Amino acid sequence: MDMSQGVRTEPMGSGRPLSEAYDTALLDLDGVVYAGGRAIAHAVDSLGAARSGGMRLAYVTNNALRTPDAVAGHLSELGIPAGADDVITSAQAVARLIAEQVPAGARVLVVGGEGLRVALRERGLVPVESADDDPAAVVQGYGGPDLPWGRFAEASYAVRRGVPWFASNTDLTIPSGRGIAPGNGAAVEVVRIATGAEPQVAGKPLPPMHRETILRTGAQRPLVVGDRLDTDIEGAFNGGVDSLLVLTGVTDGAQLLAAPPQHRPTYVDADLRGLLTGQPEITREGDGFRCGGWTATAGADRLELTGDGGALDGLRALCAAAWTAAGDGACRLDGEKSLARLGL
């Protein structure tokens, strides 16, 4: 790993396919495996090949709306065989967090979907619907676009009375088949504004989610695979494990170049086919960095790219130049022209 005083300065290379180098892929779902309920291009075939080669696949999602059974059923319908034990949700992580802090059999006010209710029952807790049901905790998770506004009021009443408040995750947005929609983090902001309180959060990128994932999978050499820098990649950073960023979701090239250390992935690829291949090495060449047919350097005010080759090789070279120039900060150099050359 090419690191400078603990700060990643370039993506790593791998001479082996990632599906062989790691025993378990911890895969995000929205923006990685599917979007708007439909499989992303190459996801089904790539995951099938990785599984056939011996890699365990675990699906790790901050979306607390659906149960593991429902998620596994959806994956199987898409052609990705999966069981409930292969799915880890932020609902499960937050339910464990709550159960560690309230008495067994305690009531918990739920603002969200069935995934939260099932996870709470798994921990011996009792979901309730009203602030007047004497809850020992309030938990908030993504409830879908049809969640009634009155649910936020119930949460606010209880939190203002001093009931401990938990959130499955605070992702502000969620990918959909029609674009980017408000996520649970936007709903959490509603209750925060009404109460002035702060919830305990379980989901990615925070440690409770990583702990839940490792406990349920037993992974020894996990690889986090995601599309978001601020959840998937930061979660891998916080857990001290390697990560693969795929460019099928919310992160674009400009955001990747500007990533601070905790948001810098170990590997970068276009989609899940990246699991089945090695990753090209980046080499220093003079004042720049070379990957494939491209060489990237950091000038006084911009990132400069020369050569010709695959777009992803150019992006990796640009990352090396940007991250090295930024050190432990975020790169502020203009990279738009270089990204445009790559079609990114």
The tokens of 276 are what? Answer: 């089945």
Among 2, 23, 28, 252, which one carries the catalytic annotation? 28
| Cβ atoms 110, 120 nearer than 8 A | yes
The answer for residues whose C-beta is within 8 angstroms of residue 31's C-beta and 6 or more apart is: 40, 175, 226, 227, 228, 248, 249, 250
Measuring CA to CA, which residue among 258, 230, 259, 225 is closest to residue 241?
225
Is 2 annotated as catalytic? no
| Cβ atoms 212, 88 nearer than 8 A | yes
Q: Using CA atoms, how far apart are residues 332 and 183, in angstroms rounded to an integer?
A: 28
Is 133 annotated as catalytic? no
Half-sphere exposure (Cβ direction) of 47: Cα atoms closer than 13 Å:
26
The tokens of 24 are what? Answer: 């378990």
Work out the number of other CB atoms within 10 angstroms of the CB of residue 281: 16
CA 129 to chain centroid, in Å, comes to: 29
The answer for residues whose C-beta is within 8 angstroms of residue 253's C-beta and 6 or more apart is: 247, 315, 318, 335, 339, 342, 344
Among 30, 86, 232, 313, which one carries the catalytic annotation? 30
Which of the residues are catalytic? Answer: 28, 30
